[in-house]
Structure 1
Amino acid sequence: MKVLLTGGTGFIGSELLKYLTTHEVVLLTRTPSKAKEKLSHTDMGNVRYISSLDDYHHLNDFDAVINLAGEPIADKRWTKKQKKHICESRWTLTEKLVSLIHASTTPPSVFISGSAVGYYGDQQEHPFDETLHVSDHGFTHNVCAKWEQIACRARSEMTRVCLLRTGVVLAPQGGALSKMLPPYRLGLGGPIGHGRQFMPWIHMLDMVRGITYLLETPHAHGEFNLCAPHPVTNKLFSQTLAKTLKRPHLLRTPKWALSLAMGESSVLLFDSIRAKPKKLTELGFHFSYSRIEPALKNLLQHHD
């Protein structure tokens, strides 16, 4: 396949490239020279780098588009300016891609576009799957809902659309886990708030395998929860992480302290999202890591 990839230098995208070596990839990036240097270990000579879509008037030459670009949602405090940047970095590029798909006489057969489990908002302890209808006014829901609405406009008889409602992606380097490790290694780990909030996690291996599976499964379409079949509470995750690192699990971080430090973005830690990947498993996808303990053992096997 010839694949147009956005977000290819990001946390998930750079790992996904390792699974696209049999495909021809055109990678959209602001700085091709930096991207080429960063991805030199994953580029098997199958990647071409472009800095803009301005030279494209259609996407007739592409078999697939994978759209993962977007400002990281958890890296900075949600000021008014940052919220705008988070939204526009997702919505504007997705609109451009959709317009190019519409302008194509032989459009890509699949458009895979990012989203997140933040779409669901706080669902407390209730388990749910992709069929859950959500009416929510929170920022994370609004970002994802509009992002998905824009992406769905690409849908036609010739183009199927898959939406990636991604959970907390766990990897040895980068992402949420790398932020958690320093205090846990010092024996300062513990649950956040009451710790009963559910965390929809996924091992990076299953994340990129899941995207590849959707790319190569012609009848896959619609919303997909990209998270392991067994979400865990924050307390259980915290206990398992401390146990895997052979460190004590004694401290608790009060909700008020994180709310003070993070402001509105603290909902990313306190919203309880017990999402199940029903559609992905019904398609026949098998998770390499469906339980948190084996996942963390694998991810931390090279750490002290």
Structure 2
Amino acid sequence: MRILVTGGTGFVGKRLCEKLIDGGHQVDVVSRSPSQAARGLPRECNAGKSAMAFIDTPPDAIVNLAGEPIAGKRWSDAQKKRLISSRVEATTALVEFCKALQKADKPLPAVMVSGSAMGYYGDQGQKKVDEETPPHPEFAHRLCAQWEAAAEPIKALGVRLAILRIGLVLDEGGGTLAKMLPPFKLGLGGRFGDGRQFMPWVHREDLVEAILYLINKSGLEGPFNAGAPHPVTNREFSQTLARHLNRPAIFPVPAFVLKAGLGEMSRLLLTGADMRPERLHAAGFNFGYPTLDKALADILDD
């Protein structure tokens, strides 16, 4: 297959591209800096500044992972606009690309797997959350809702749309652990606030496999929670991570400190959702790393 990927140089996208190339697929990557992207991706990947660069080689599938990192900067009004626009504009460009393919009488992709995030649900407290759970209205939800809505018009073109609401991605070399490991390795880690907030997480390998699964299973569409089947609270996450590092986790970060330092963005650390991958399970997808212990053992243990 020929797969078009946005966000291909990111933590998830890069691993996806590697896996696709290993599987014998052709991979086209959209990047603002194609030459730089080409240096960081398998040499078999083709990089272009926009999807329109590949209009003469129509993809069989699209994977849309583009978007500015949500925790990269404090959430000023301007930054909120950038977070939304980076996702909405990238997604809208893919819809327009498919319209251009149709107008040129070229084949359309069979499917688009489009990213979203666990933030769609907002703060859900202690209740279990599946794909039918009503969201809590707050910025993270509005961001994800607009991101998902930007992808919806592609269905009118006959392209199957699957949306992945992604949890915290774990693996070596980046993602959530890149920021957490330094203090924990020094024995300075601990829970955030009271630690009761849930942290939906997923091993990067399972996330990539879920993307491939949705590409290949023709009947699967709509939203899918991309989090491991056993989410944990922040307290449990901190204790498990510390145990795998043979370090204590006795330095909690008070909620007021996070709120003072991060403002509204502190909600990413102090709230969460007990998000379960009900629709992936129902579709027959099996997680290779269903528990945090198994995931961290793979990532951290020698």
TM range (shorter): over 0.9
Equivalent of 1:27 in 20, 29, 47: 29
* Counterpart amino acid of residue 100 in structure 1: F
Counterpart Cα distance in 2 of 1:186 and 1:81:
35
Alpha carbons 1:59, 1:108 under 8 Å: kept: no
Counterpart Cα distance in 1 of 2:14 and 2:287:
20
Counterpart Cα distance in 2 of 1:122 and 1:94:
25
Aligned to 2:124: 123
Aligned to 2:115: 114
* Counterpart amino acid of residue 85 in structure 1: R
Counterpart Cα distance in 2 of 1:161 and 1:60:
21
Counterpart Cα distance in 1 of 2:158 and 2:149:
18
Counterpart Cα distance in 2 of 1:130 and 1:102:
29
My pick for the range that moved more, 16-25 or 222-231, is 16-25
Name stretches of at least 5 consecutive residues in structure 1 with no aligned partner.
none
Alpha carbons 2:122, 2:136 under 8 Å: kept: no
Question: Counterpart of 1:107 in 2: which secondary structure?
Answer: coil
Counterpart Cα distance in 2 of 1:152 and 1:52:
20
* Counterpart amino acid of residue 259 in structure 1: K
Alpha carbons 1:167, 1:202 under 8 Å: kept: yes
Identify, as 1 or 2, the structure richer in helix: 2
Question: Counterpart of 1:224 in 2: which secondary structure?
Answer: strand
In the TM superposition, what is the alpha-carbon distance from 1:231 to its structure 2 partner?
0.5
In the TM superposition, what is the alpha-carbon distance from 1:182 to its structure 2 partner?
0.8
Aligned to 2:188: 188
Percent identical among aligned pairs is 44
**Relative to 1, partners in 2 of residues 1:284 and 1:157: Cα closer, same or farther, differing over 3 Å?**
farther
1:237-252 aligned within 5 A: 237-252=237-252
In the TM superposition, what is the alpha-carbon distance from 1:102 to its structure 2 partner?
3.0
Aligned to 1:18: 18
Counterpart Cα distance in 2 of 1:53 and 1:97:
7
Report the count of equivalent residues.
296
TM-score with structure 2 setting the length: 0.94
- What CA RMSD, in Å, does the superposition of the two structures yield over aligned residues? 1.5
1:164-183 aligned within 5 A: 164-183=164-183
Aligned to 1:82: 79
Question: Counterpart of 1:190 in 2: which secondary structure?
Answer: coil
Aligned to 2:92: 95
Alpha carbons 1:193, 1:253 under 8 Å: kept: yes
Aligned to 1:162: 162
In the TM superposition, what is the alpha-carbon distance from 1:134 to its structure 2 partner?
2.3
In the TM superposition, what is the alpha-carbon distance from 1:207 to its structure 2 partner?
0.8
TM-score with structure 1 setting the length: 0.93
In the TM superposition, what is the alpha-carbon distance from 1:3 to its structure 2 partner?
1.2
Aligned to 1:217: 217
Name stretches of at least 5 consecutive residues in structure 2 with no aligned partner.
none
**Relative to 1, partners in 2 of residues 1:108 and 1:54: Cα closer, same or farther, differing over 3 Å?**
closer
* Counterpart amino acid of residue 124 in structure 2: Q
* Counterpart amino acid of residue 27 in structure 2: V
Counterpart Cα distance in 2 of 1:59 and 1:80:
39
Equivalent of 2:59 in 59, 62, 86: 62
